[in-house]
Structure formats: structure tokens, C-alpha cells
Amino acid sequence: MVSALIFDLDGTLVDSAPEIHAGVTQLLAEEGLPPLPFATVRGFIGGGVPTLITRVMRALALPEDPARHADLCARFERRYEDSPDDLTRPYPGVEAALDALDLPLALCTNKPEGPTRALLARLGWSARFPVLVCGDSLPSRKPDPAMLHHAIAATGGGPVLFVGDSEVDAETAARAGQPLLLYTQGYRKTPLADLPHLAAFDHWDALPALVSHHRKGHPPA
Ligand SMILES: O=C(O)COP(=O)(O)O
Ligand SMILES: [Mg+2]
């Protein structure tokens, strides 16, 4: 019997790619560097801010420089938390689906805690997720399974269903031995068939019934 639902955030509950692209674009402009295409930056989302900045630096063939990387991460995160563009929106049907679920909900996101809390407050979602495990909550980030293990422990020990959108989420679920419900409209680049998952869904309207179907038997991942 499933006792909690654990959600990824970016690309799963919300489309944050326009905001992340705007932040990267401003950062690059401040550095006197050209912008990267939207689709390129969207494809860099999923591993957290340090991974995003590493990918941006590589895409522009910038030399590996840990001090510059740290500086760019810090500046990106400051802007991310302030969200001057306010471009991030829930995917269609998310709020109704969350309202319909009668299980404890938690977030397990590689987005840092500051921007996560600020976004939840802007969306009026702060009370929805009593448990938050964010990209800077623990020494490691997804796909290391520690974040998911932490979220499971904090929601009563499981069993859980993990809901995510990306290669990172599929690897995290597999390494944690947990079943994944895969949202197909996020930032995944790999064909669905190549990612381990219990079930997939294209629209949030389908999620409550999917959860009802899987919560009783809790089939193995
Ligand atoms: O911040 C990211 O890169 C991704 O965050 P997510 O784990 O919520 O998809
Ligand atoms: Mg995601």
C-alpha cells in the first residue's frame, strides 16, 4: 500500500525552462558571451544548477575554471530565487491532480532550496509539500538515490510512488529501487522505452487514476 507520493519539480510539476533560459541568457550577457538557444538550455535541465552551469560553459567552449564555475552558479542562483521574469508555470492540470490526491506529498528536486521555496510561495503551493528535499539539501544530488531515500524516510518510510520527467529521475528511481511514474511532456531526451518506469502519463488529468491503480498492489519497479 503506497503511503506517499514524491515529486520531481522542474519538467514534472512546472515548466521552468523559460525562466532558466532567461537566467542563463542574462548571465552570459553579463559575461559578454552570446546567448544559447532555448532548446539547448532546456536540454541542460535536470541535474541541478552546478550541472547546468557546467553544460553551459562546455557549450561555449569556456575553459574549465572551478572559481568561475562557482561564481556563475552563485550569480545564477541569486537571480533564480528573485525570479524577476516570473516565467515558471504549472503544467496543465497539475493543481487539480494534486487536489485530488489524498496521500502525503513530498518534493525531491535538484532545484536549490531557495528558488524552490520562492517558487512554491509564488504559486501558493508552500503548504502542499510538507517534505522538501532539494538540490542543495544533501551532499549529493539526483541521480544519487540519497535524496529519494531521504524523502521516503521523511514521509514515513514508504512504499512510495516517485513522479518525474527525466533520465535523472529514472536513474534515481532505479538506483533507489522505487517505482517511477514518468511524465512525458517534460525535459526527457531519451525515448520512453529506454527509461525504466512503472507507467507513463502525458497529461496530469490522468495521474489520480494512475495512482489509484498502482497504490494498492505496489508492483515492483
Ligand atoms: O534544477 C534542475 O536542474 C532540475 O530540477 P528537477 O530535479 O526538479 O527536475
Ligand atoms: Mg525534472
Q: How many C-beta neighbours within 10 Å does residue 61 have?
A: 6
For 117-134, the pLDDT digits (tens) are 999 999 999 999 999 999
CA separation for the pair 89, 172 (Å, rounded): 25
Secondary structure (3-state) at 89: strand
CA separation for the pair 105, 121 (Å, rounded): 16
140: left (phi over 0), alpha (psi -120 to 50) or beta: beta
In 51-172, the DSSP E strands lie at 89-90, 105-108, 131-133, 160-164
What predicted TM-score, i.e. pTM, was given to this entire model?
Answer: 0.95
Query: Boundaries of CATH 1.10.150 in the chain?
Result: 17-82
Tens place of pLDDT for every residue, the chain, 221 residues? 899 999 999 999 999 999 999 999 999 999 999 999 999 999 999 999 999 999 999 999 999 999 999 999 999 999 999 988 899 999 999 999 999 999 999 999 999 999 999 999 999 999 999 999 999 999 999 999 999 999 999 999 989 999 999 999 999 999 999 999 999 999 999 999 999 999 999 999 999 999 999 987 655 44
Asked if residues 166 and 157 have their Cβ atoms less than 8 Å apart, the reply is no
Pocket residues: Cβ below 6 A from ligand 1: 8-11, 45-48, 52, 109-111, 135, 142, 166
For 146-162, the pLDDT digits (tens) are 999 999 999 999 899 99
Task: Label the pairing between strands 160-164 and 131-133.
Answer: unpaired
Which atom of ligand 1 has the smallest separation from the CA of 47? 3
Q: How many C-beta neighbours within 10 Å does residue 56 have?
A: 21
The residues with which 185 forms a beta bridge, in sequence order, are none
User: In CATH, what is the architecture of 17-82?
Assistant: Orthogonal Bundle (1.10)
Mutate which of 8, 125, 147, 163 for ligand 1? The one with the most ligand atoms within 8 Å of its CB, which is 8
Q: If you write DSSP's letter for every residue of 13-43 in order, what string do you get?
A: TEE-HHHHHHHHHHHHHHTT-PPPPHHHHHT
Query: Boundaries of CATH 3.40.50.1000 in the chain?
Result: 4-15+88-215
CA separation for the pair 83, 67 (Å, rounded): 24
Look at the domain 4-15+88-215 and name its fold: Rossmann fold (3.40.50)
Mutate which of 6, 7, 9 for ligand 1? The one with the most ligand atoms within 8 Å of its CB, which is 9
Q: Does the annotation mark 136 as catalytic? A: no
